[in-house]
Amino acid sequence: MDANGLLTIVVFCALVLALTPLLGRYMTAVFDGQVKGLGWLERPIYRLCGTSADEEQHWSRYALSLLAFSAVGMLLLYALQRLQGGLPWNPAGLAAVAPDLAFNTAASFVTNTNWQSYGGETTLSYLTQMAGMTVQNFVSAATGIAVAIALIRGFARHSARTVGNFTVDVTRAVLYLLLPLCVVGALALVALGVPQNLSAYTSVTTLEGAQQLIAQGPVASQMMIKHLGTNGGGFFNVNAAHPFENPSALTNLIHMVAIFAIGAGLTNTFGRMVGSQRQGWMILTAMTILFGLSLAVALGAEVQGHPLLAAHGIDQLASPWQSGGFLEGKEVRFGVVTSVLFSIVTTAASCGAVIAMHDSLLPLAGMMPLLNMMLGEVIIGGVGAGLYGMMLFVLLAVFIAGLMVGRTPEYLGKKIEGRDMTLALLAILAFPLCIFGLGSIAMVWGQGAIQDAGPHGLSELVYAYVSATANNGSAFAGFSANTLLHNILLGLAMLAGRFMVIIPLLAIAGAMAARKTIPPSAGTFPTDGGLFVVLLIMVVLVIGGLTFFPLLALGPLAEHLTLAAGTLF
Amino acid sequence: MSIHHPAPVRLWDRAILAQAGRAAVCKLDPRQMVRNPVMFATAVVAVVATVLSLTATSHQGVMSQITLWLWFTVLFANFAEAIAEGRGKAQADSLRRTKSEAVARRVVSAESALEMTTCESVPAEALRAGDLVECKAGDLIPGDGDVVFGIATVDESAITGESAPVIRESGGDRSAVTGGTRVISDRIVVKITCNPGESFLDRMITLVEGAKRQKTPNEIALTILLVGLTLIFLLVVASLPVFASWSRVDIPLMFLAALFVTLIPTTIGGLLSAIGIAGMDRLVTFNVIAKSGRAVEAAGDIDVLLLDKTGTITLGARQAAEFVPLGGISERDLAEAAFLSSLADDTPEGKSVVLLARQRFGFQAPPTEDLSFIPFSAHTRISGVTIRGASWGGVMTATSEIRKGASDAILRLVTQTRELTGSIGRDLAQAVERVARSGGTPLVVARDGHLLGVIHLKDTIKPGIRDRFATLRAMGIRTVMITGDNPLTAAAIAAEAGVDDFLAEATPERKLELIRQYQQGGRLVAMCGDGSNDAPALAQADVGVAMNTGTQAAREAGNMVDLDSDPTKLIEVVMIGKQLLMSRGALTTFSIANDVAKYFAIIPALFITAFPQLQALNVMGLASPQSAVLSAIIFNALVIIALIPLALKGVRYRPGDAATILRRNLLVYGVGGLVVPFIGIKLIDLLVSGLGLA
């Protein structure tokens, strides 16, 4: 492993950990309504939505507002795509997007997935990109954060009827959190060489004498929200592997930190709002350990290089003359270690931006992004989604093992009852339902989209459905998803993976808020110690991970073992 | 009172085993099976497997073996429930036996306030709540009820095992009688308070009978979790052939069936009901009857224990140790007043006052017709005697009122009529404080509005109680001592006994208020009580244990009845509740952790023909795909049988703080659940392949 890569990992982790309490404190203030500066902008928005900053909503109203907001957003996106041919800002004269693709894309952006079945520059007009996709990059991220905040309020409050106000939470998330961070981050990126202009493409003559058209545009502003909001949809087709999106190792570091920043910060916000930062740190510790394990396995596989090349006596190990590893499909500027780190980061969070093609990772290294998403993206996770997803596992862990201390299960002083279990399971069922259910339908009627034979082919299809369900948006290249069947099925998977989790969780938030808080005692199940961290990790791996063991065995594990034995398909 | 425990039923009682074996088969009735979704799913798979193995053309040997073990899995689970039921019923039956053939004499008409009654004979089962029945010496009391007339000695040994008969009388706090007990002397009229099938015994019997048993809230929540996991695994297994078809892997349907059954949580699914029944059973062994399973669960959650001082923290009997006269009063005058006012006082304290006065001054009891006693009331906290003007000891005396009680109560009484003069108030305060500071109870005596002095009642803390409170504190349970004593005495005893808090000068209202206060703070409160005035507090408490000797009102209000009427048992009840919840959690954790090994046994077996390299996942080195699947399913079935003793006895509970308990249990049942099946499946595989079964 090269020292450069190792240093990147260390600096990356240190930056995320250092930012966590800062962002955590800031977000607590934002959602407690203590950050005010933009009141003149907030008030008209609330008035327009027929609400006010003081109004609070019952969880069901909160959920309805969220659903209505997302539904309207999705309809708008769909309409924009279908009508773009007759709308302005369409210099390339792009025609209406096909209905199934428009549905898929609308679902993708509303659910913060940014799965792209299409090629951006050849499908969507500037208007669709700006008024549709970019808006959703902000508000779908804000929606995720709002749900997490509502859930946190559920645990923090007692004997309360309400969990917050959806309009207020989303507005504040955008105005006070996402926009300022994007402005600052974008300026930093511009300073580091990321283009931000509205100029026409530049035509240059290369050294070979060929003509090349160099695409550019307002890249920096989109980069920041793409990572900060764990959206992942790139400005350029090759995403963050493009030197204009990601000119240097430093911008690469900023991208990665931006992907984790809000998700990690929310664990601290959680701790602060429930009155014990330690509770938040324990959640983050569990996430960090899972992240470390995932990274270790992927790196372990990748730095060895390709076994078949090794068999030919080709040296792939890191040395003063080479960064080492199997570089096909990786970001050659940064080396294998940083490429793998980015892949793990982008799938641990639900970002989906890439600097290396996940399809090109060696089987075991490719399995880890897949597994990260299968676990429900609870390692930091999508903004908001990571925390509320992890809360599902926390509830399960407390419920399964909590009885072992001789009390009925409770978390943060809230008893966990039958109804909560039903709701939590409903949310957890979303994953197997989409991945196994929709996935097997796709397997039967949509095999044509698979490019490669053998276990790798299976991984391509499974990856697509896992990525959609987990609202990640990254893909195993080679899978031709833009077909009627896959567009519809993947669209459904994205919607179910998002709302089948959010709605039950908001119901849980409402139930928790209404409940009394039992003061902790020596007999209380301890959730602020190492023991709980170990337990939580075990539950995530056993309940979240083992379910997918058969698929992993048929896909990446079989590929790895057959490759090691020298078999290619 | 000595604590009598019904002889605990042996774990493997042969009669119960035989009965349970039969019951296991009867429980295959789908209407009963459906109550347990996990085992129902297993049974459905077993039916499918039966059809498959009957129609199979190849591999019939292995297939029929798998089918057989699938059925065993279901039967073992039924068997576990049946054993628990059998043990519960064996205990309940011994309590119920006396009751069934009882004939009741129902009152048809009555004269002069039940003095004379006309009765008809009816079977005990025909009695309804509100019926009056007459019971004479030698009669079995036909049902639970309240004595409304008369006084009698009753032999309650059938229920409590205590051979000394007890007094039951109308009014007062000893009016409740239990069906199945026998009147030994005199005649009482009992008002029946419950309909047939609703008596304590009946309720308890329904708690230990699986078919009628209502699931407790936590049991329901756990069942939901198990159903959810079953659904997830159903999706996993059902979609597997589709995904496997890409690699042209053909998975035999029988293997899928086996995979499904081994993955779903059959261990906890099969034992859940047995654990619940066994928990009730353990209570019965302690001579406590729970009226609902919910109460037993709540017991495990208790944060605050309200314990009556007398009988629980201190030895019941406080002994009069000295008479402390106030200035200007002779000790003899004080002792005489104390003596007279205590003559009718049957409490150990009262008796000890009489005894001390006799020892010191040799008083003789006056004729009782001149004395009218005022019994102690929890409201005024005063008792006493009014002596009619009469001659005794050759001297004519005027009508005289003697009152004794807590100092504030007596002071209030005295100052109602006149101001305290001179230093008498200060003297009293000093005397009271001296007694109270020493942990004794000062009992102030006044005669005709004049303060005489203080009786020093000495309290003795039960040996070992301090350690028990320390244990409870380590468990996170707060102990609160309830006492009618004044705050000084209460504080001294509280400090000596090591309770966390105390409520002094307690009245039923203040007790209720205290419970509400704790509950408002989100805490769960347990208490025990016996008197009618305890009923509201018993009903308000999350766990209210009524003493069997108490009133029917108290017994109705509480959600448990302690047949031994031993208030210390509240602590055991909490432990039993915790043990029940722990057993459930431990087996759930064990069951889910088991899945890791089962995956590693079956998944390589399924895919090895397509990808021989997947042999690397066969970490146990199982002999063949057939033997791997068979071994996993055998292990899955046998582990249910192996864990029945644990489910029935409950996991070992050593009191301690939650973190310690969790660490230990996670190590035993979590890590154990991961490791044991690897070893177990490997051993079974060695046996299966060695015997050539697969």
- B586 secondary structure, DSSP code: H
Amino acid identity for residue B575 in this structure: M
Q: In this complex, do B603 and A549 lie within 8 Å of one another by their Cβ atoms? A: yes
Q: Which two tokens stand for residue B169?
A: 């009388």
Segment B547-560 mean pLDDT: 80
- B149 secondary structure, DSSP code: E
Q: List C-alpha distances in Å: A37 to A42, A176, A262, B206, B429.
A: 10, 9, 21, 65, 65
Q: Is A216 on the interface with B (CB under 8 A)?
A: no
Residue of B155, B281, B308, B542 marked catalytic: B308
Q: Picking from A408-412, B133-137, B599-603, which range would have the lowest pLDDT averaged per residue?
A: B133-137
Band of residue B2 on the pLDDT scale cut at 50, 70, 90: very low
Cβ-Cβ contacts under 8 Å between A and B: the total is 211
Q: In this complex, do B611 and A561 lie within 8 Å of one another by their Cβ atoms? A: yes
Q: What is the 3-state composition of chain A as percent helix, strand, coil, each rounded to the nearest 5?
A: 65, 5, 30
Segment B604-622 mean pLDDT: 92
Query: Which pLDDT score, from 0 to 100, does residue B158 have?
Result: 65
Grouping H, G, I as helix, E, B as strand and the rest as coil, residue B504 is coil
Segment B352-365 mean pLDDT: 85
Please tell me whether B404 is known to bind a ligand. Answer: yes
Residues 435-494 of A with CB under 8 A from B: 436-437, 439-440, 443-444, 447, 450, 454-455, 457-458, 461-462
Query: In the 3-class helix/strand/coil scheme, how is B29-71 assigned residue by residue?
Result: CHHHHCCCHHHHHHHHHHHHHHHHHHHCCCCHHHHHHHHHHHH
Grouping H, G, I as helix, E, B as strand and the rest as coil, residue A286 is helix
> What's CA B660's distance to the chain center, in Å?
25
d(CA B452, CA B339): 13
CB A459 within 8 A of CB A366: yes
Average pLDDT over all residues of chain B: 85
Q: Would the pLDDT of B565 be above 90?
A: no
Query: Which pLDDT score, from 0 to 100, does residue B1 have?
Result: 33
Q: Which of A395, A558, A372 is nearest to A471 (CA)?
A: A372
Band of residue B99 on the pLDDT scale cut at 50, 70, 90: low
Band of residue B156 on the pLDDT scale cut at 50, 70, 90: confident
Q: Which of A77, A103, A76, A80 is nearest to A90 (CA)?
A: A80
Segment B383-405 mean pLDDT: 73
Grouping H, G, I as helix, E, B as strand and the rest as coil, residue A416 is coil
Query: What stretches of B193-317 adopt beta strand conformation (E)?
Result: 288-290, 304-308
Question: Can you list the pairs that B202-207 forms with residues at least 24 positions away whose Cβ atoms lie under 8 Å?
Answer: B203/B289, B203/B291, B203/B292, B204/B92, B204/B95, B204/B280, B204/B284, B204/B289, B204/B290, B204/B291, B205/B88, B205/B89, B205/B92, B205/B96, B207/B88, B207/B277, B207/B280, B207/B290, B207/B292, B207/B293
Query: Which pLDDT score, from 0 to 100, does residue B4 have?
Result: 43
Chain B residues whose CB is inside 8 A of the A521 CB are 303, 476-478
Q: Is A565 on the interface with B (CB under 8 A)?
A: yes
Chain A residues whose CB is inside 8 A of the B614 CB are 553, 557-558, 561
Check residues B10 and B48 and name the one with the higher pLDDT.
Answer: B48
Chain B residues whose CB is inside 8 A of the A535 CB are 666, 670
pLDDT in tens, B175-211: 888 877 888 888 888 888 877 767 666 766 666 665 6
Band of residue A23 on the pLDDT scale cut at 50, 70, 90: very high
Average pLDDT over all residues of chain A: 92
CB A155 within 8 A of CB A183: no
d(CA B105, CA B575): 42
Q: In this complex, do B217 and A417 lie within 8 Å of one another by their Cβ atoms? A: yes
Segment A365-389 mean pLDDT: 94
Amino acid identity for residue A268 in this structure: N
Pairing of strands B304-308, B478-482: parallel
pLDDT in tens, A89-140: 887 788 899 999 999 999 999 999 989 887 766 788 878 888 888 899 999 9
Please tell me whether B376 is known to bind a ligand. Answer: yes
Share of chain A above pLDDT 70, in %: 99
CB A359 within 8 A of CB A395: no
Q: Which of B687, B478, B484 is nearest to B571 (CA)?
A: B478
Q: In this complex, do A558 and B579 lie within 8 Å of one another by their Cβ atoms? A: no
CB A233 within 8 A of CB A110: no
pLDDT in tens, A260-280: 999 999 999 999 999 999 999
Grouping H, G, I as helix, E, B as strand and the rest as coil, residue B647 is helix
For residue A265, give every residue at least 6 positions away whose Cβ sits within 8 Å of its Cβ, in sequence order, or none.
A19, A20, A22, A23, A24, A26, A27
* Matching residue, tokens 């301090």: B466
Share of chain A above pLDDT 90, in %: 68
pLDDT in tens, B500-535: 999 988 888 888 899 999 998 888 999 987 777 778
Please tell me whether B450 is known to bind a ligand. Answer: no
Q: Which of A443, B94, A31, A420 is nearest to A464 (CA)?
A: A443
pLDDT in tens, B241-298: 999 999 888 899 999 999 999 999 999 999 999 999 888 888 888 888 888 888 888 8
Identify the residue among A370, A396, A408, A525 best suited for mutation to test binding to B, counting B beta carbons within 10 A and taking the highest.
Answer: A408
Q: Which two tokens stand for residue A57?
A: 């909503």
Furthest CA-CA distance within chain A: 78
Please tell me whether B379 is known to bind a ligand. Answer: yes
Segment B619-633 mean pLDDT: 94
10 Å CB burial of residue A95 (0-12, 13-18, 19+) is exposed
Query: Which pLDDT score, from 0 to 100, does residue A373 have?
Result: 95
Grouping H, G, I as helix, E, B as strand and the rest as coil, residue B146 is strand
Nearest CB neighbour to A405, from listed B221, B243, B661: B661
CB A255 within 8 A of CB A227: yes
Is the confidence metric ipTM above 0.90 for this complex? yes
Residues 531-550 of A with CB under 8 A from B: 531, 534-535, 538, 542-543, 546-547, 549-550
Q: List C-alpha distances in Å: A423 to A395, A504, A507.
A: 11, 5, 7
pLDDT in tens, B436-453: 888 777 889 988 888 889
Q: Which of A22, A51, A69, A128 is nearest to A499 (CA)?
A: A69
Q: What's the sign of the alpha-carbon dihedral A324, A302, A229, A15?
A: negative
pLDDT in tens, A433-466: 999 999 999 999 999 999 998 999 999 999 999 9
10 Å CB burial of residue A516 (0-12, 13-18, 19+) is middle
The residue of chain B nearest to residue A420, with distances taken between CA atoms, is: B221
Q: In this complex, do A432 and B603 lie within 8 Å of one another by their Cβ atoms? A: no
- A242 secondary structure, DSSP code: S
User: Measured between CA atoms, how close is B584 to chain A, in angstroms?
Assistant: 7
Query: Which pLDDT score, from 0 to 100, does residue B8 have?
Result: 55
For residue A313, give every residue at least 6 positions away whose Cβ sits within 8 Å of its Cβ, in sequence order, or none.
none
d(CA B601, CA B172): 68
Query: Which pLDDT score, from 0 to 100, does residue A391 have?
Result: 96
Query: What stretches of B181-303 adopt beta strand conformation (E)?
Result: 182-185, 187-192, 288-290
Q: Would the pLDDT of B121 be above 90?
A: no
Please tell me whether B377 is known to bind a ligand. Answer: yes
Give phi and psi for B106, each to the nearest 5. Answer: -85, 135
Q: In this complex, do A516 and B303 lie within 8 Å of one another by their Cβ atoms? A: no
Q: In this complex, do A554 and B218 lie within 8 Å of one another by their Cβ atoms? A: no
Q: Would the pLDDT of A432 be above 90?
A: yes
Chain A residues whose CB is inside 8 A of the B596 CB are 542, 546
Query: Which pLDDT score, from 0 to 100, does residue B329 have?
Result: 84
Query: Which pLDDT score, from 0 to 100, does residue B392 have?
Result: 52
Nearest CB neighbour to B243, from listed A518, A543, A554: A554
Query: Which pLDDT score, from 0 to 100, does residue B224 have?
Result: 94
Q: Is B654 on the interface with A (CB under 8 A)?
A: no
Query: Which pLDDT score, from 0 to 100, does residue A128 have?
Result: 86
Q: Picking from A32-46, B63-77, B148-162, which range would have the lowest pLDDT averaged per residue?
A: B148-162
Q: Would the pLDDT of B341 be above 50?
A: yes
Which helix (H) or strand (E) element contains residue A410? strand A410-411
Chain B residues whose CB is inside 8 A of the A420 CB are 221
Segment B588-610 mean pLDDT: 93
Band of residue B328 on the pLDDT scale cut at 50, 70, 90: confident
Cβ atoms within 10 Å of A316's Cβ, excluding its own: 19
Please tell me whether B578 is known to bind a ligand. Answer: no
Nearest CB neighbour to A404, from listed B611, B617, B662: B662
Q: What's the sign of the alpha-carbon dihedral B184, B189, B195, B196?
A: positive
Segment B594-620 mean pLDDT: 92
Q: Picking from A237-246, A274-283, B86-95, which range would have the lowest pLDDT averaged per residue?
A: B86-95
Cβ atoms within 10 Å of B133's Cβ, excluding its own: 24
Instruction: Tell me the domains of chain B and their CATH numbers.
Output: 14-90+207-284+580-691 (no CATH), 101-201 (2.70.150.10), 288-313+462-563 (3.40.50.1000), 315-460 (3.40.1110.10)
Check residues B406 and B605 and name the one with the higher pLDDT.
Answer: B605
Q: In this complex, do A407 and B233 lie within 8 Å of one another by their Cβ atoms? A: no
Band of residue B3 on the pLDDT scale cut at 50, 70, 90: very low
Q: In this complex, do B582 and A406 lie within 8 Å of one another by their Cβ atoms? A: yes
d(CA A405, CA B660): 9
CB A338 within 8 A of CB A346: no
**Where do the domains of chain A lie?**
36-200+213-276
10 Å CB burial of residue B681 (0-12, 13-18, 19+) is buried
Q: Is B113 on the interface with A (CB under 8 A)?
A: no
Q: Which two tokens stand for residue B461?
A: 């803390």
10 Å CB burial of residue A164 (0-12, 13-18, 19+) is buried
Q: List C-alpha distances in Å: B61 to B56, B64, B66, B604, B693.
A: 10, 5, 9, 21, 8
Query: Which pLDDT score, from 0 to 100, does residue B270 have?
Result: 93
Query: Which pLDDT score, from 0 to 100, does residue B389 have?
Result: 67
CB B6 within 8 A of CB B287: yes
Grouping H, G, I as helix, E, B as strand and the rest as coil, residue A222 is helix
CB A172 within 8 A of CB A30: yes
d(CA B580, CA B207): 14
Q: In this complex, do B236 and A436 lie within 8 Å of one another by their Cβ atoms? A: yes
Identify the residue among B237, B246, B271, B305 best suited for mutation to test binding to A, counting A beta carbons within 10 A and taking the highest.
Answer: B246
Amino acid identity for residue A547 in this structure: T
Please tell me whether B530 is known to bind a ligand. Answer: yes
Q: Would the pLDDT of B395 be above 60?
A: no
Q: In this complex, do A416 and B670 lie within 8 Å of one another by their Cβ atoms? A: no
Asked if B427 is an active-site residue, the reply is: no
Grouping H, G, I as helix, E, B as strand and the rest as coil, residue B635 is helix
Grouping H, G, I as helix, E, B as strand and the rest as coil, residue B315 is coil
Q: List C-alpha distances in Å: B422 to B326, B334, B445, B635, B643.
A: 12, 19, 18, 87, 76
d(CA B464, CA B598): 49
Q: Is A522 on the interface with B (CB under 8 A)?
A: yes
Identify the residue among A159, A278, A393, A407 best suited for mutation to test binding to B, counting B beta carbons within 10 A and taking the highest.
Answer: A407
* Matching residue, tokens 């099969």: B270
Segment B366-380 mean pLDDT: 75
Query: Which pLDDT score, from 0 to 100, does residue B204 have?
Result: 67
Q: Would the pLDDT of A376 be above 70?
A: yes
For residue A322, give every residue at least 6 positions away whose Cβ sits within 8 Å of its Cβ, in sequence order, or none.
A315
